[in-house]
C-alpha cells in the first residue's frame, strides 16, 4: 500500500498492526511506517497519532510524547471516539507513571476509567485498572494496589498471575526473597531472548535488571548489584532509552557504595549519581533526581558530611512528595536519620527516623520498618535508653526472623550500618534477655562470633607488619588517643604474647626495667587505663573489657575477642597455601600465598626492633615468610610465571641475602626470559653475599647451574631440582 501510495489503506493496516509492533519492540519499524504517511492522512487517523506518543514515550522523550497524546485526545473528542479518548488519556498517564509521578497520573487514569465505563471492552478496562494499581503502589498504597489488581483479574476472568506490578508490590512491601526469585528467572529468560536477537519494549524503571539491582543493594550484595546495573545500562543503550540508562546509573551508584574490600571512594559514587542526574535533566525528568538524591544522601551522610547529606535529602524528599511517591521519600528520610546516628547525633537521628517509620508503616514496607528499627535501636543505645532500645530490638528481630532479613544484621547493606558489627551489642543484649535466642545465635555464628560474650560494636584491626596501626572498625586510633607511648607498647606486648597470661610484674619488668617495683606497678596501671580508653572509649567503667581479660594480677587478650591481626592472618594464609600446594591444588595454593605476601608489609613491630620481648615473634614470622615465599617462587617458575617469581625472590633476598635457593630461581628465570647476562650477575651477587656474610662459597647446586648457564647448555634443570 505504501509503495502504491494507497495511504488510507496503509494507515488502516498500520493501525491494526501497531499494537503488535509495539509489544514486539519493533519501534523503528513502526516509526518508519508512520513517517511514510502524509500529514493529512496521519491527522485523520488519531490512533496513529497516539502511536507516535507511544514511540516518543518509549524513547524517553516525554514532553513530545505528551504533545502527541494530547493531539490524539483532541482528534478523538472531535470524532466522538470515546475509546480513542480513553486510550489517549491512558498514554498521557503512562508518561507520568514511567517517571514515577503518581500524583500527576492519578486524575488522567480516573478520567480514562470513567470513560471506559460506557464501553464494551473488558480488556481495556482491565488494563486501566492495572495502571491504577501500579500508580497506587507508586503512591505508597500497596493495599489499594492489590485490590485494583484483583478487580482487573476478575474482568479478565483469570486467577492470580505474577507480573511486573506484583513483583514491585513485593519489593515495596518487603517481600524481597519472593521478588528476587521471580526476577532472576525473568532475567535469565530475557538474556536468552536477547541472545536470539529479540528485543522487548522499553519498560523504564520497571526493567527486570534494575529492580534486581536494587534488591541486591538492599541485601548487601554490591558485586551482583553492580553487574545488574551495568547490564541495565546496556539495555538502555540497546533499546535507545536514556531514561532506562539514567535509572541504571542511579542503581550503579547504590551498588558502588557497597563494593567489597572496604568503603568505596565517595567521589566515584557521587560522580555516578551526577551522571544519572545530568541524563535525567536532559530528559526533563525530575524524578531521576529523587533516587539519585537518596544515594547522595547516603554517600555524604555515611561519610560524615551531614550538611550536604541533609541538602540532598531535602531535595529528594521534595521531589518524591511532589511526584506522590511516599516510599522513596521514606527511604530518603531513613537514610538521613541513619547518617545522624553514625555521626553520633542520635537525638537528631531519632526525630528523622520516627518520621520515616510512620511513612514506611503507611506504605506497608516491612523491610523499611526493620531497617528503621535497627537504626532507632542504635540511637537509643547511644542515648543509654535501655527500655526503648529493647523495644526496638524486639520488633527488629521479629521482622528479620519472619521475613529472612538476616543480611541486615550480618553484613553491610544499603539501608543497614556500613559495619554489621555495630549491631552485635544489640544481639548480645537480646540473647541475654532470652529474645529470639536461636535466631540471634545463628546471626552471631554468621559473623564468626558465636562464642562472644562481650562486644563493643566494632572489630579491632591491628597491623603489626611494616608498622603498627590499630583501627576500631573503620576508624584508626590516632597517636594522641593512646595518650602515652607505654600504652601502645603494653598493647603490643599483649598482642605478641596473646596465647598466654602475663603477670603484671612480668610486664612491668619488660616495659619499665629501670624503675622500682612500686613505681613500675603505678605506671603499669596508668598505661593500662590509657590503653582501655584507646581501645574502648565509650565503655562504661562497670562493663568488662571486650579485649583484655584479667585474672587477679594476670592479663591477656581475650581468645574469643573480635580482633583481626595481620600477622596471624599472614601466618594462616602461608599455612593454607602450602597445604593446598601439597595436595596438588596449584591455583588455590598460589592465590593463598599471594594473599599472604600481600599482608607482609615489612618486619614485625619495627618500632620495637630492639625490644627483647618482640624478638622471638619477629624471627618466627621471618621464617614463615621465607619458607612461604620460597614455595611461591618455586611454584611460579613451574607455572612459567617467571617475572612474578623474580619479584618474590627479590623480596626474599631483601630479608635474607644468603637465601641461596632464591638466587638459583632468579638465575633460572632470567635465563628462560632470554637474559643470560642478568642470570650470571645473580650468581656473582650470590657469591659476594655468601662470602661477606658467612665466609662461604656457593653450594655445588648453585655452581653447577652457573656453569650450565655460562656455557649455554640448552638443557636447563627443572625447578624441582633446584
Q: Supply the CATH number for residue 481's domain.
A: 1.10.10.10
Q: Is residue 175 part of a domain?
A: no
> Which of 136, 161, 186 lies at the terminal end of a domain, its last residue?
161
Euclidean distance between CA atoms 143 and 713, whole angstroms: 83
Residue 313 lies in a domain: no
How does DSSP assign 239-300, residue by residue? TT-HHHHHHHHHHHHHHHTT-SSSPPPHHHHHHHHHHHHHHHHHTT-THHHHHHHHHHHHHH
Place of cell 507516535: 52
The pLDDT tens digits of the residues spanning 198-247 come to 878 888 888 999 999 999 999 999 999 999 999 999 999 998 899 999 99
Same domain, 529 and 439: no
153/612: higher pLDDT: 612
Other CB atoms within a 10 A radius of the CB of residue 388 amount to 15
Residues 96 and 70 in one domain: yes
Q: What gap in Å lies between CA 292 and CA 276, rounded to an integer?
A: 7
User: Is 71 inside a domain boundary?
Assistant: yes
* Whether residues 90 and 72 fall in one domain: yes
Lowest mean pLDDT of 104-118, 383-397, 425-439, 557-571, name the range: 104-118
Grade residue 35 by pLDDT with cuts at 50, 70 and 90.
Answer: confident
For residue 396, the model assigns a pLDDT of 97
Please indicate, yes or no, whether residues 647 and 664 belong to a single structural domain of this protein: yes
pLDDT band at 185 (very low <50, low <70, confident <90, very high): very high
Q: Average of pLDDT values for 473-480?
A: 92
Rounded to whole angstroms, how far apart are CA atoms 505 and 519?
A: 11
Q: Please indicate, yes or no, whether residues 628 and 715 belong to a single structural domain of this protein.
A: yes
Give the domain-ending residue among 402, 419, 452: 452
> What is the tens place of the pLDDT at every residue in 585-637?
999 999 999 999 999 999 999 999 999 999 999 999 999 999 999 999 999 99
Q: What is the pLDDT of residue 164?
A: 81
Query: Which three-class secondary structure state does DSSP give residue 551?
Result: strand
Inside any domain, residue 114? yes
**Could you read off the pLDDT of 47-74 as tens digits, one per residue?**
999 999 999 998 888 999 999 999 999 9
Residue 344 Rama label (left phi>0; alpha psi -120 to 50; beta): left
Q: β-strand 460-463 against 475-476: which pairing, if any?
A: unpaired
Distance CA 123, CA 709 (A): 85
- Percent of the chain scoring above 70 in pLDDT: 97
Same domain? For 424 and 478 the reply is no
- All three cell numbers of 264, joined, read 568505596
Q: What is the CB neighbour count within 10 angstroms for residue 634?
A: 21
Asked whether residue 61 falls in the same domain as residue 155, the answer is yes
Range 686-692 average pLDDT: 95
Pairing of the two strands 502-503 and 548-551: unpaired
Q: Do 154 and 50 have their domain in common?
A: yes
The helix or strand, by DSSP H or E, that contains position 443, with its residue range, turns out to be helix 437-446
Whether residues 53 and 128 fall in one domain: yes
Please tell me the distance from the alpha carbon of residue 575 to that of residue 118, in angstroms, as a whole number. Answer: 79
pLDDT band at 720 (very low <50, low <70, confident <90, very high): low
Short-list 396, 466, 454, CA closest to 424: 454
Instruction: Please name the residue ranges forming H helices in 324-406.
Output: 326-342, 346-363, 366-382, 386-403
C-alpha span between 456 and 547 (Å, rounded): 9
Q: Which of 396, 400, 344 is nearest to 372 (CA)?
A: 396
Instruction: From 452, 477, 505, give the residue that closes a domain.
Output: 452
444 has a pLDDT exceeding 70: yes
Q: What's the number of domains the chain is made of?
A: 4
Asked if 369 contacts 328 with a C-beta cutoff of 8 angstroms, the reply is no
Average pLDDT taken over every residue of the chain: 92
Residue range of the domain that includes 496: 460-561
Q: Are 555 and 614 in a shared domain?
A: no
417, three cell numbers: 550500618
Q: Is residue 622 part of a domain?
A: yes
Write down the residue that cell numbers 528485543 correspond to.
199
pLDDT single digits (tens) 247-276: 999 999 999 999 875 555 788 999 999 999
If pLDDT is split at 50, 70 and 90, which confidence band does 541 have? confident
Tell me if residue 558 falls in helix, strand or coil. Answer: coil
Using the predicted structure, report yes or no on whether residue 572 has a pLDDT greater than 60.
Answer: yes
| Neighbour count for residue 79 (Cβ, 10 Å) | 12
Q: Mean pLDDT throughout 422-446?
A: 96
Confidence of residue 3 (pLDDT cuts 50, 70, 90): low
**Do 596 and 628 contact (CB within 8 A), yes or no?**
yes
Are residues 393 and 448 located together in one domain of the fold?
yes
- Please report whether residue 218 resides in a domain: no
In this predicted model, which residue has the larger pLDDT, 649 or 138? 649
Residue 21: pLDDT band by 50, 70, 90 thresholds? confident
Q: Is 425 in the same domain as 486? A: no
Of 280, 294, 320, nearest to 101 by C-alpha is: 320
Instruction: Provide mean pLDDT across the span 486-500.
Output: 96
- Give the residue-averaged pLDDT of 130-151: 87
Sign of the Cα torsion 459, 460, 465, 467 reads positive
Q: Could you tell me which of 587, 220, 550, 538 has the C-alpha nearest to residue 384?
A: 538
Indicate which CATH number applies to the domain containing 108. Answer: 1.25.40.10
Is the residue at 634 inside a domain? yes
Q: Is 340 inside any structural domain?
A: no
- Average of pLDDT values for 101-123? 86
How far is residue 300's CA from residue 338's CA, in Å, rounded to a whole number? 12
Amino acid at each position: 500500500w505504501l509503495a502504491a501510495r494507497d495511504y488510507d489503506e496503509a494507515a488502516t493496516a498500520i493501525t491494526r498492526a501497531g499494537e503488535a509492533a509495539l509489544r514486539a519492540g519493533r519501534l523503528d519499524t513502526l516509526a518508519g511506517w508512520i513517517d511514510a504517511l502524509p500529514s493529512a492522512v496521519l491527522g485523520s487517523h488519531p490512533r496513529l497519532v497516539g502511536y507516535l506518543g507511544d514511540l516518543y514515550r518509549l524513547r524517553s522523550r516525554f514532553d513530545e510524547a505528551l504533545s502527541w497524546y494530547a493531539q490524539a485526545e483532541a482528534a478523538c473528542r472531535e470524532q466522538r471516539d470515546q475509546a480513542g479518548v480513553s486510550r489517549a488519556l491512558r498514554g498521557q498517564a503512562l508518561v507520568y507513571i514511567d517517571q514515577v509521578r503518581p500524583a500527576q497520573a492519578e486524575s488522567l487514569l480516573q478520567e480514562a476509567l470513567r470513560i471506559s465505563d460506557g464501553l464494551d471492552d473488558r480488556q481495556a478496562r482491565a488494563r486501566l485498572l492495572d495502571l491504577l494499581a501500579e500508580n497506587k503502589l507508586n503512591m505508597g498504597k500497596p493495599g489499594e494496589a492489590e485490590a485494583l489488581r484483583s478487580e482487573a483479574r476478575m474482568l479478565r476472568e483469570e486467577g492470580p498471575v505474577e507480573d511486573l506490578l506484583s513483583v514491585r508490590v513485593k519489593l515495596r512491601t518487603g517481600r524481597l526473597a519472593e521478588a528476587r526469585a521471580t526476577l532472576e528467572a525473568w532475567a535469565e529468560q530475557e538474556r536468552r531472548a536477547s541472545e536470539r536477537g529479540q528485543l522487548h519494549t522499553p519498560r523504564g524503571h520497571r526493567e527486570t535488571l534494575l529492580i534486581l539491582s536494587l534488591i541486591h543493594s538492599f541485601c548487601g550484595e554490591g558485586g551482583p548489584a553492580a553487574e545488574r546495573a551495568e547490564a541495565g545500562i546496556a539495555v538502555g543503550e540497546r533499546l535507545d532509552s536514556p531514561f532506562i540508562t539514567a535509572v541504571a546509573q542511579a542503581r550503579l551508584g547504590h551498588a558502588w557504595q557497597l563494593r567489597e574490600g572496604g568503603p568505596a571512594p565517595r567521589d566515584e559514587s557521587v560522580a555516578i549519581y551526577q551522571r544519572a542526574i545530568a541524563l535525567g535533566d536532559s530528559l526533563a525528568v525530575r524524578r531521576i533526581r529523587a533516587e539519585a538524591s537518596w544515594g547522595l544522601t547516603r554517600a555524604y551522610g555515611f561519610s560524615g558530611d551531614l550538611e550536604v547529606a541533609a541538602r540532598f535529602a531535602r531535595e529528594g524528599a521534595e521531589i518524591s512528595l511532589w511526584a506522590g511517591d511516599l516510599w522513596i521519600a521514606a527511604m530518603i528520610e531513613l537514610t538521613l536519620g541513619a547518617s545522624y546516628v553514625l555521626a553520633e547525633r542520635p537525638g537528631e537521628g531519632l526525630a528523622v527516623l520516627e518520621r520515616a517509620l510512620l511513612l514506611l508503616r503507611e506504605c506497608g514496607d516491612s523491610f523499611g520498618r526493620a531497617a528503621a528499627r535497627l537504626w532507632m535501636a542504635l540511637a537509643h543505645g547511644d542515648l543509654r535508653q535501655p527500655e526503648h532500645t529493647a523495644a526496638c530490638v524486639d520488633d527488629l528481630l521479629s521482622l528479620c526472623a519472619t521475613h529472612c532479613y538476616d543480611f541486615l544484621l550480618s553484613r553491610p547493606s544499603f539501608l543497614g550500618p556500613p559495619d554489621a558489627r555495630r549491631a552485635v551489642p544489640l544481639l548480645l543484649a537480646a540473647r541475654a534477655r532470652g529474645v529470639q535466642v536461636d535466631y540471634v545465635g545463628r546471626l552471631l555464628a554468621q559473623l564468626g562470633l558465636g562464642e562472644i560474650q562481650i562486644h563493643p560494636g566494632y572489630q579491632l584491626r591491628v597491623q603489626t607488619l611494616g608498622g603498627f596501626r590499630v583501627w576500631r572498625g573503620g576508624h584508626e586510633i590516632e597517636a594522641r588517643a593512646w595518650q602515652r607511648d607505654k600504652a601502645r607498647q603494653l598493647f603490643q606486648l599483649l598482642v605478641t604474647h596473646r596465647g598466654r597470661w602475663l603477670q603484671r610484674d612480668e610486664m612491668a619488668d619488660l616495659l619499665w626495667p629501670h624503675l622500682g617495683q612500686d613505681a613500675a606497678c603505678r605506671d603499669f596501671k596508668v598505661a593500662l587505663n590509657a590503653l582501655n580508653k584507646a581501645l574502648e572509649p565509650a565503655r562504661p567503667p562497670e562493663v568488662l573489657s571486650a579485649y583484655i581479660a584479667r585474672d587477679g594480677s594476670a592479663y591477656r587478650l581475650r581468645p574469643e575477642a573480635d580482633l583481626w591481626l595481620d600477622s596471624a592472618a599472614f601466618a594462616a594464609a602461608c599455612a593454607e597455601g602450602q597445604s593446598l600446594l601439597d595436595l596438588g591444588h596449584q591455583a588455590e595454593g598460589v592465590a593463598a600465598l599471594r594473599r599472604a605476601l600481600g599482608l607482609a608489609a615489612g618486619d614485625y613491630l619495627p618500632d620495637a626492633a630492639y625490644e627483647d620481648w618482640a624478638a622471638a615473634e619477629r624471627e618466627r614470622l621471618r621464617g614463615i615468610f621465607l619458607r612461604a615465599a620460597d614455595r611461591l617462587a618455586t611454584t611460579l617458575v613451574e607455572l612459567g610465571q617467571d617475572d612474578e617469581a623474580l619479584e618474590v625472590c627479590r623480596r626474599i633476598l631483601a630479608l635474607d641475602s644468603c637465601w641461596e635457593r632464591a638466587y638459583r630461581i632468579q638465575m633460572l628465570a632470567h635465563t628462560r626470559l632470554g637474559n643470560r647476562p642478568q642470570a650470571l650477575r645473580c650468581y656473582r651477587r650470590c657469591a659476594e653475599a655468601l662470602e661477606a656474610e658467612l665466609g662461604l662459597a656457593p653450594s655445588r647446586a648453585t655452581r653447577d647451574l652457573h656453569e650450565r648457564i655460562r656455557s649455554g647448555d640448552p638443557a636447563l634443570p627443572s625447578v624441582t631440582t633446584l
